[in-house]
Amino acid sequence: MSKINFVSLGGCQECGKNLYIVEVDTKIFVLDCGIKYPTSELYGVDYISPDLTYLEQRKKDIVGLFLTHGHEEAMGAVTDFVTKFPDVKIFASHFTLALVQDLLKSKGFDNSKLHFVEVNSKTIYKISNTNNVSVTFLNTAHNIYDSYGIIIHTQDGAIVYTSNFTFDQNQHQADYLSMFSALVRASREGVLALLPEAQGSLYEGSRGTILEFKQRIENIFVKSNGRLIFSLFSNDLQRIQQIIDIANSFNRNIAILGRKTQRTIDVGINMGYLRVPEDRLVNLKFLDDNNKNDDANLVVLVTGERHEPYYMLQRMANKRDRLININDRDNIVILTNPYPGTEKMAARTLDMIYRVCTNVTTFTQDLLPESHANREELKMMINLLHPKYILPVQGEYRHQYACIQIANCVGFDTVNNLIIPDNGDLYNFTDGVLTGVKGSVPVGEIMNDGDVAGDVGQVVMRDRELLGESGVILLYSNINPRTKKVITPLQIVCKGFAYITEHPEFNEKITKAFETVCEKYLQQARIDWSEFKSDIRNAVSRMVYKEANASPIIIPVLISTDPSHLLKPVINMDQTKKAASKKVALKSEKKVVKKDSKKEPKESTTPKTKEVKKTVKKVVKKEEKTSEKPKAVKKTVRKVVKKDSPTTTLK
């Protein structure tokens, strides 16, 4: 009995954060590991990555990470994956691996310690100790180079994950011969399940081709006499290459704005994928009185992810950008259709640009070559493979539902063979038959704020939302814990809360609520400061909501202060020791002085001095009498003097 499980950790019923797991006889194949960009209500969040808890539980069963292309919704979370699974192999094409290695290097990883496997359309990766399980790669047409789909071959049939693709034959970087050959081989083998992208399933009818797009851009260059500014998404390398080629043909200088795009373009140039003439690339300097960066021969590419091009254009229109300020002589070309959630920002950006420049050309969806499969291309993929089951991925629920309707139009059974998967649902195939959802796995979103990952949870986001909507009220006061009295009056600081400025009496109501809680706690023998602040927060919050119908964040700050301690002298141990040592030294000096003063006698009053004089006289008289022995007399005198010298001082 063969068992195959499919589960999505991200990418179903949402755009981005693609991560899919195919489990064949306990062997886990991880397909893509991307990020998702936040919506406007997620304040301060840079990007969102999938939760890898389930993979951590099955760490020993992971065969490898298989990446389809170099866009961040497919490989942006590789840093998180490598952090948790440094020994797992990463399979990707030549260009995708270069982008992955560049991303990991920028995050401080040592690529020499990781395991990278380069693949192409001819690669066949066979899994040992399994029942004829292997992986091949399907060359696809997309707006980034070296894009591949992934085919997992099992004894029950192939599982085809298309990722992003189109059948636009104007995209010359795709090897259509290899693409159709791989699709035909998989169809002959038998396709158990097709995992098509659904993000473009709402597009129907004809759309702009690359040839038509090139002609329209060339017409803009011909008509333009001033500086040209293009807004582009950084992941659309093919469109960037086309504009660079056209600008070069018109002998115009090119400036590219956007850190990620510059890094990606550098990788593409070094590997030979992008052709950018070095003599045409210019580095813009900061604006000053002498430098305006407004050369009429200049073409500026404003690039970024999701909302970044709009922000950059807004700064330029408001004269706040450090490199470019839009003027009435410029020509603005908008090539960035808004992502879901950025429509308001895109409309506001256009309004701001029109205030300073009216030479604006906007390319709508029907004029831009789409990089996602539309309805007709999805029909072609389904008819070529004729899968047994279809589980659309990479799209919101409406996209997945539209993909199901497309499959229904070409003869598939909606009830039994078409499933709209959701993140976390575990779908089981036993002996080639879908048995339904057999449980669920832990899924979630890891919000990343700069270098902080995982700490930005729901509580933090709720606080940021409240701060953005209602502001904050800070309450602080000094309280004496010994006397149980409020020392200083309550101080109220409001930020972002406008009601209090229009109603000055509101301060008194806040103070009254504060004093009511203080009266309760200051009568207790022991104060629980945590509960004290919590009750203040709750009481003031209820009162503010009742009076102002708002819910600002309340932050009470209670400072425990005992003024009686401030009256006592501050004792410095070092100074005390020094003072004590000085006192001891003074006392010893006084004793020495007294002792010496007692031992210093005057000649007229010291008895010992008189005795010495008498002895000397006797010796002199004796010397006079006995002049034969003068030397002996001298020695005797010396002995007498030495004997008295320790206790007498002779002047």
pLDDT attached to residue 625: 47
Tell me which of 77-81, 199-203, 278-282, 577-581 is least confident: 577-581
Residue with tokens 């691996």, as numbered in its chain:
97
- From the list 317, 391, 393, 320, the residue with the least C-alpha distance to 359 is 317
State whether 350 and 402 are in the same domain. Answer: no
Does residue 623 carry a pLDDT above 80? no
- The yes-or-no verdict on residue 272 having pLDDT over 60 is yes
**Do 262 and 353 share a structural domain?**
yes
pTM: 0.75
pLDDT for residue 603 is more than 60: no
626 pLDDT above the threshold of 50: no
Helix (H) or strand (E) holding 448: strand 445-449
| Structural domain range at position 646 | 611-651
- The reported pLDDT for the residue numbered 431 is 92
Residue 588 lies in a domain: no
The last residue of one of the domains, among 362, 390, 415, is 362
Q: Is residue 119 in a domain?
A: yes
Question: pLDDT tens across 424-462, in order?
Answer: 999 999 999 999 999 999 998 888 776 545 555 666 666
Percent pLDDT > 70 in the chain is 81
Report if residue 600 sits inside a domain.
Answer: no
Residue type, 143: N
Mean pLDDT, rounded, for 609-635: 49
Residue 585 lies in a domain: no
- The position carrying tokens 């850190």 is 259
The residue ranking higher by pLDDT, 63 or 364, is 63
Residue 143 is predicted with a pLDDT of 84
Average pLDDT over residues 526-555: 87
State how many domains the chain has: 4
Contact predicate 428/232, CB 8 Å: no
Q: Final residue of a domain: which of 324, 346, 362?
A: 362
pLDDT of residue 132: 84
Last residue of a domain, one of 415, 449, 483: 449
Q: Which two tokens stand for residue 590?
A: 């006084």
- Model confidence over 452-509: pLDDT tens digits? 455 556 666 666 666 766 788 889 888 888 888 888 888 888 887 777 777 878 888 8
pLDDT at 464: 65
Six-digit token pair at 534? 């919590």
548-568 pLDDT, tens digit per residue, is 888 888 889 888 887 766 555
Residues 9 and 76: their CA atoms lie apart, in Å, by 15
With beta carbons less than 8 A apart as the criterion, state whether 24 and 58 touch: no
pLDDT at 78 over 70: yes
What pLDDT is attached to residue 264?
A: 86
- Same domain? 228 vs 317: yes
- Give the residue with greater pLDDT, 66 vs 597: 66
**DSSP 8-state code for residue 569:** P
CA 59 to chain centre: 25
Give the Å distances, CA to CA, from 125 to 29, 89, 271, 380. 12, 12, 25, 27
Q: CA–CA separation, 12 vs 500, rounded Å?
A: 45
pLDDT grade for 647, boundaries at 50, 70 and 90? very low
Q: Which of the residue ranges 50-64, 417-431, 524-538 would you say has the lowest mean pLDDT?
A: 524-538
90 Cβ contact partners less than 8 Å away, ≥ 6 residues apart: 64, 65, 67, 78, 82, 97, 100, 114, 115, 116, 117
Cα–Cα nearest to 396, from 8, 73, 12, 7: 12
Q: Could you tell me the pLDDT band of residue 636, with boundaries at 50, 70 and 90?
A: very low
My answer on whether 525 and 651 are in the same domain is no
Q: Is residue 109 part of a domain?
A: yes
State the Cα–Cα distance between residues 228 and 334, nearest whole angstrom. Answer: 11
- Whether 376 maps to a domain, the answer reads yes
What integer is the mean pLDDT of 117-143?
A: 89
Residue 409 Cα to chain centre, angstroms: 44
User: Does the pLDDT value for residue 155 go beyond 70?
Assistant: yes
For residue 163, the domain's CATH number is: 3.60.15.10
In a shared domain, residues 474 and 522: yes
Residue 58 is classified by DSSP as T
Q: Angle 626-631-632 (CA atoms, 0-180°, nearest 5)?
A: 70
Compute the half-sphere exposure of residue 376: CA atoms within 13 Å on the CB side of its CA: 7
Edge-to-edge order in the sheet of strand 62-66: 116-118, 90-92, 62-66, 27-31, 19-24, 3-10, 425-430, 433-440
Residues 215 and 331 in one domain: yes
SS3 (DSSP) at 411:
coil
- Rounded to whole angstroms, the maximal C-alpha distance in the chain is 162
Q: How far is the first Cα of the chain from the last one, in angstroms, to the nearest whole number?
A: 126
Q: 515: phi > 0 → left, psi -120 to 50 → alpha, else beta; which?
A: alpha
72 in the same domain as 27: yes
Residues 6+ away with beta carbon under 8 Å from 208: 363, 366, 367, 368, 369, 370
Copy the structure tokens of residue 531: 């509960």
Same domain, 57 and 148: yes
Model confidence band, residue 614 (pLDDT cutoffs 50, 70, 90) = low
d(CA 510, CA 502): 15
185 and 220 assigned to the same domain: no
Which of 6, 5, 9 is CA-nearest to residue 81? Answer: 9
Strands 472-480, 452-453: pairing kind:
unpaired
Provide the CATH number for the domain around residue 245. 3.40.50.10710
Whether residue 339 is found in the same domain as residue 374: no
| Token reading at 592 | 């020495």
* Model confidence at 624: pLDDT above 70: no
Residues near 237 by Cβ (< 8 Å), separated by ≥ 6? Answer: 143, 144, 145, 264, 265, 268, 273, 274
What's residue 468's pLDDT? Answer: 67
Burial code of 140-153, b = ≥16 C-beta within 10 A, e = fewer?
bbbbbbbbbbbbbb
77 part of a folded domain = yes
3-state DSSP call for residue 246? helix
Note the residue count of the chain: 651
Positive/negative CA dihedral, 247, 248, 252, 258: positive
- pLDDT of amino acid 263: 85
Of 29-43, 220-234, 293-307, 606-620, give the lowest mean pLDDT range: 606-620
Q: Which CATH number is 542's domain given?
A: 3.10.20.580
Q: 150: which 2 tokens?
A: 């992934």
* 217 and 271 co-located in one domain: yes
Asked whether residue 286 is assigned to any structural domain, the reply reads: yes
Same-domain status, 345 and 247: yes
Position 606 confidence tier, pLDDT thresholds 50, 70, 90: very low
